[in-house]
Chains A and B, each alone.
Chain A
Amino acid sequence: MATGDIELSGCLERVRQRDEAAARVLVERVQPLVEKLVRAHLPRNDDVEDLMQDVFLKLFSRLGQYRGQVPFEHWVSRVAVSTCVDRLRAQKRRPVTRWTDLSESEQRLVDSLAAEVPAGAPELDAWGVMEKLLAALSPAERLIISLADMEQKTIQEISELTGWNSGVVRIRAFRARQKLKSLYQELEAGRL
């Protein structure tokens, strides 16, 4: 066992015994990972720190369930991802993105996609359109598109982050992409 692992297991044990100094060390250790995940899957208009706080409180309350069977960072990722999914579920899903929901610059961007995309195309507008399309997906679908297509993670990496087996990840990714495609077609159809 590496020195880092020994230090971590000691730290976890102290947190379980309600040691605040150890809890502080733990928060500082996993904070960059939690923040990265929360930012990647943040529901629209949600507060990063607020959601991160929820993740940490959930981590502390479930710490007794961590048995060391998977690396601690993987376990933390799963708790963070499930907290984000819960928050997304609690939000009202946008039904379908219509052409009129797009800003003028976003509409121009979608129009330009039919031709060769010019250099220096407005990437922020592309992200804006994508965010609107993602908002109409279910939390799990949104999560998988974010991980697979936005962050370009492998099936194995997604499996480790979410705790879903690789078969489930493949099926969900396929369905999510089909749905995204259909939403995009509806969006384009609304332009006529």
Chain B
Amino acid sequence: MNESGKRLGKLVELARRGRPETEPAGSPAFTARVIAQWSADRDGAPDWLGELIRLGRVGLAFALVVLLASVVFHRPTPSGAGDLLAAFAGIEPSAMSGL
């Protein structure tokens, strides 16, 4: 171990002994505060609402995957997704009609 490492070792040893001991924070008032907050959270957001939000997110992700798949795998034609792709790529749709 080099000199700097030895000095760090001494610092760690001293710091270990110097960690401040503090009085416990836990008290009946703290317990009551936690329970009150837990009850408020439960009342504010019922289980069915959380489930609905979760299902909504899953549905949105699925729709996004379907949309991306349709754009990627759709044949480039002058209509539909082909137009959309051409618009994004800045190509004149008529230029793609021969593809």
Contact = CB atoms under 8 A, between A and B. Distances in A.
Chain B binding surface, main DSSP class: helix
Q: Which of the four size classes fits the interface of chain A?
A: 35 or more
Contacts, number: 96
Interface residues of B, number: 29
B38 interface: yes
Which of B14, B17, B20, B37 counts the most chain A CB atoms within 10 A? B14
B15 to A, nearest CB: 4
Interface in B9-26: 10-12, 14-20, 22, 24-26
Chain A binding surface, main DSSP class: helix
A99 B26 CA distance: 37
A121 B14 contact: yes
Contacts of B15: 123, 126-127, 129-130, 150
Given A27-B34, A48-B25, A52-B30, A181 B10 contact: no
B33 interface: yes
Given A53-B33, A181-B4, A185-B4, A23 B38 contact: yes
Contacts of A110: 7, 11
Interface of B: 3-5, 7-8, 10-12, 14-20, 22, 24-26, 30-31, 33-35, 37-39, 41-42
Interface of A: 18, 20, 23-24, 27-28, 31-32, 35, 39, 48-49, 52-53, 56-57, 60-61, 109-110, 113-114, 117, 121-127, 129-130, 149-150, 152, 180-181, 184-185, 188
